[in-house]
Amino acid sequence: MVVTQEDIDAFQEDIVNPYFALAEFIRSFGASLDPMLWVKLVEEELKELYDEKRNTPEHLKEYADLLYVFTGLDLVSNERLGTLVPEEERANIVSLMGRTERMLQEYLQHYGEETVGKAFTRVHRSNMSKLGEDGKPIKREDGKVLKGPNYRAPDLDDLL
Ligand SMILES: [Mg+2]
């Protein structure tokens, strides 16, 4: 009997710790440690979340995306925000992070911890499935990560 990764995923719905997940993602993809890039990603995902209707799988997906990049920003900001970011940007970033955190908190209460944890974990697995057959990221010339042959989009339909 051949047990596929999909079977395992379906059977054991464990929930990953966001910080471990982002550390794994950043290491595996050689992702940027520049806080300003992560700020841009948080702004993009905030917009995507605003554009979706509450209580839809699409909204939950954007929530998980926002939690994903926010955790990434938090991770790379811990030591660097005070030293690497231009002083005039710092107040903006602190305010963006505050707004994002309130938004994340609001929908954490709305959807519940278990649903959010599952959605985040599925988005993380989907992101990790972008790796190529050799376990290495496939990148375009400008550094953008491309989806490998094993890529699977996250399916959140059953969570709502
Ligand atoms: Mg998104």
Q: Closest by alpha carbon to 119, among 156, 152, 67?
A: 156
Q: How close is the Cα of 45 to the center of ligand 1, in Å?
A: 5
Residue 5 corresponds to which tokens in the numbers above?
A: 């990764």
The CATH code of the domain that includes 102 is 1.10.3420
Q: Which domain holds residue 65?
A: 19-77+85-159
* The pLDDT value given to residue 8: 65
* The pLDDT value given to residue 10: 61
* The pLDDT value given to residue 5: 73
Q: Is the pLDDT of residue 13 over 80?
A: no
Least confident of 42-51, 74-83, 87-96, 123-132: 74-83
Which residue bears the tokens 């929530």? 63
Q: How close is the Cα of 2 to the center of ligand 1, in Å?
A: 34
Region 16-36: what's the mean pLDDT?
Answer: 93
* The pLDDT value given to residue 6: 72
Q: Into how many domains does the chain fold?
A: 1
Tell me if 2 is assigned to some domain. no
Q: pLDDT band at 89, cuts 50/70/90?
A: confident
Q: In angstroms, what is the C-alpha Rg of the chain?
A: 16
Give the integer Cα–Cα distance in Å for 83 and 89: 12
Q: How close is the Cα of 48 to the center of ligand 1, in Å?
A: 6
pLDDT > 90: percent of the chain: 71
CA distance to 74, 135, 143, per residue, from 66 (Å): 12, 25, 21
Region 44-56: what's the mean pLDDT?
Answer: 97
* The pLDDT value given to residue 127: 96
Q: How close is the Cα of 42 to the center of ligand 1, in Å?
A: 10
